[in-house]
Amino acid sequence: MEENQRDDVYSKSVRAGKRTYFFDVKTTRGNDLYMTITESKRKTDHDGQFVYDKHKIFLYKEDFEKFIEGLEETVAKIKELKATGNYPDDGPLDRKKESEGSGTHFGFEDL
């Protein structure tokens, strides 16, 4: 099997508004599977040319279940909050921002 055929196993793209998400399944040299999730957003640079801003996550097989569990839990919480309307406009991050002054810097642990 050629190297390129071994690397790329499956690809799915999802268009969502101004963004496109790519879900790509690949194999490692040890023939294990992993997934990359890429968010691509088309922007216009200062010269009027289209450029793509891309962000990529590598997700390995040992993390699939935990990732799915976290994603499902988060989506369920969003649906619950939207249905009940029970969420403040000034959530925890906004309150922390106010207590630290007028800056907008947040640490990774705040996310």
The per-residue pLDDT for range 64-79, each reduced to its tens digit, is 999 999 999 999 999 9
Q: Does pTM top 0.75 for this prediction? A: no
Please indicate, yes or no, if residue 74 is contained in any of the structural domains. yes
Q: pLDDT-based confidence at 108, cuts 50/70/90?
A: very low
Please indicate, yes or no, if residue 111 is contained in any of the structural domains. no
Can you list the alpha helix ranges (DSSP code H) found in the chain?
3-7, 64-84, 92-99
Please indicate, yes or no, if residue 80 is contained in any of the structural domains. yes
Q: pLDDT-based confidence at 7, cuts 50/70/90?
A: confident
In the prediction, which pLDDT does 27 show?
94
Please indicate, yes or no, if residue 107 is contained in any of the structural domains. no
Bridge partners, 35 (sequence order): 25, 59
Please indicate, yes or no, if residue 60 is contained in any of the structural domains. yes
Please indicate, yes or no, if residue 110 is contained in any of the structural domains. no
Q: How many domains does the chain have?
A: 1
Please indicate, yes or no, if residue 51 is contained in any of the structural domains. yes
Per the structure, the complete domain to which residue 90 belongs is given by: 3-101
| 20-30 residue pLDDT tens | 999 999 999 89
C-alpha distances in Å from residue 38, one per residue of 18, 24, 104: 14, 8, 26
Please indicate, yes or no, if residue 108 is contained in any of the structural domains. no
Q: What is the CATH number of the domain that holds 24?
A: 3.10.450.700
Strand order in the sheet with 8-16: 8-16, 19-27, 33-44, 50-60
